């Protein structure tokens, strides 16, 4: 399942790498790509929206939407 996650609070490549690492560590994730300039992450895998929100929050950022 592919999801697009809108993320608030990323300001640099280090932020994007932190989010990518947090999402990649979730069980069921096959692939993650974070796009800093667009403020979003594209995730491929079987992961609940709640788990995604928790991982991003734990990394210090906010999810503003998941499609």
Q: What is the CATH number of the domain that holds 12?
A: 3.30.70.100
Question: 14 is in which domain, residue-wise?
Answer: 2-66
Per the structure, the count of domains in the chain is 1
Q: What is the pTM of this model?
A: 0.94
pLDDT computed for residue 49 by the predictor: 97
The token pair at 23 is: 């999402």
Per-residue model confidence (pLDDT) at position 21: 97
Instruction: Give dist(CA 46, CA 52) in Å, integer.
Output: 11
Residue 63's pLDDT is what? 98
**Does an H or E element contain 15, and which?**
helix 13-24
Residue stretches of the chain with pLDDT short of 50:
none
- How confident is the model at residue 11, as a pLDDT? 95
């Amino acid at each position: 399942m592919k999801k697009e996650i809108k993320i608030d609070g990323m300001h640099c490549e280090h932020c994007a790498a932190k989010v990518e690492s947090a999402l990649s560590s979730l069980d069921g994730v096959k692939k993650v790509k974070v796009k800093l300039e667009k403020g979003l992450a594209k995730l491929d895998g079987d992961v609940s929206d709640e788990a995604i929100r928790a991982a991003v929050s734990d990394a210090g950022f906010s999810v503003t939407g998941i499609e």
